[in-house]
Amino acid sequence: MDKERRLIIAGNWKMNKTVAEGLDLVNGIKRELTNVKEVDIVVCPPFTALCEVSKAVLNSNIRLGAQNMSENGYGAHTGEIAAGMLKEFSVRYVILKHTERRQYQKESDALIAKKALAAHGAALKPIVCVGETLAEREGGLTEKVLDTQVRGSLAGLSKDQIAETVVAYEPVWAIGTGKTATAGQAQEAHAFIRRLIGKLFDESVARRVRIQYGGSVKPSNARELMGLPDVDGALVGGASLEDRSFADIVRNSI
C-alpha cells in the first residue's frame, strides 16, 4: 500500500495484562512481525509492565507507548507519572484523552492541551484521541464535536509539534462495541480533522499529521480502513490483546 504518510498501528492494552502476560504477548507480536518495516508498530502496556516490556522490545521494530501521563513534572502529585519517568523506559508515544479517561476521569480538552505540551517537552509523541458519542452523531453534531475537541486539545502546540502529534479518531460508539465506522464515515471524519488542522495551523502540517482510526478495528476490517486516503493507522484495543490478531491487523494493513 503506497501512502503519503507512514502508517502507525498501536495496541492499547488498557487495564489488562500482568507483567508475565504482557511479556508473552509482546514476544508473540515480535515473532509474528519481525520482518515488518513498512509500518510503525507500537504497544501501549499498563505502567506496571512498561519496564519489562521495554527490555523485550529493545533492538526490535516495536516501539513503546504509555496510556497516560501527568501534565506536571516531578513533584508532589501522588499517584501520577511524569513524562521523564516514561522516558526511562524508552517510551516514545503516550495516549492522551482516551475516551475512557474523558468519560470516567472527566479529563477536559484544556487538561489534554497541557499534557500534550508536557509530552512534547519531553520528546514524547502524544496520541490525542477525539470522537463523538452516538447521540452526538445522531444529532448531527459530529463535526461540531470534533471541531471543539481538536481545537481544545491541540491548543498551544507549535506547527512542528502538531506534525509530530498523532490524532486518533475514535467514535465513542465504536469502542469495544464490535461496531466499526463504515469506510465512508471514517474517511469523512478524518478528512474533516485534516482540513481543520490545515485551517488552524497550515496545509503542510495537515499533510504531515497522522490520523489513526480507533474503534473495533480487527483483522477483517483493517485492510479497508487503512486503505482510506486520510486514515494513517489504527489504535486497537480488544484485538491487540492477542498476538495473532494484532499481527494480522498489521499485516492486512500493508
Could you give the C-alpha distances from 28 to 24, 25, 66, in angstroms and in order?
6, 5, 19
In the chain, DSSP assigns E strands to 8-12, 40-44, 62-66, 91-96, 125-130, 166-169, 210-214, 233-236
Active site residue 80: no
User: In the complex, what is the shortest distance from the CB of residue 77 to ligand PGA, in angstroms, rounded to a whole number?
Assistant: 25
Q: Choose, by CB under 6 A, the member of 93, 226, 237, 249 that binds ligand PGA.
A: 237
Told to check if 46 binds ligand PGA by CB under 6 A, we report: no
Of residues 134-153, those binding ligand PGA (CB under 6 A) = none
Cβ distance 215 to 171 under 8 Å?
A: yes
Told to check if 214 binds ligand PGA by CB under 6 A, we report: yes
Active site residue 52: no
Of residues 8-27, those binding ligand PGA (CB under 6 A) = 12
Cβ distance 156 to 201 under 8 Å?
A: no
Told to check if 172 binds ligand PGA by CB under 6 A, we report: no
Spatial separation of the C-alpha atoms in residues 174 and 132, rounded to whole Å? 10
Q: Choose, by CB under 6 A, the member of 113, 163, 172, 217 that binds ligand PGA.
A: 217
Told to check if 127 binds ligand PGA by CB under 6 A, we report: no
Instruction: Tell me the site size for ligand PGA, rule CB under 6 A.
Output: 13
Identified catalytic residue from 71, 98, 132, 190: 98
Could you give the C-alpha distances from 180 to 68, 92, 122, 136, 215, in angstroms and in order?
24, 28, 34, 16, 6
Spatial separation of the C-alpha atoms in residues 176 and 15, rounded to whole Å? 13
Q: What residues line the site for ligand PGA (CB under 6 A)?
A: 12, 170, 175-176, 214-217, 235-239
Catalytic residue positions, numbered? 98, 170
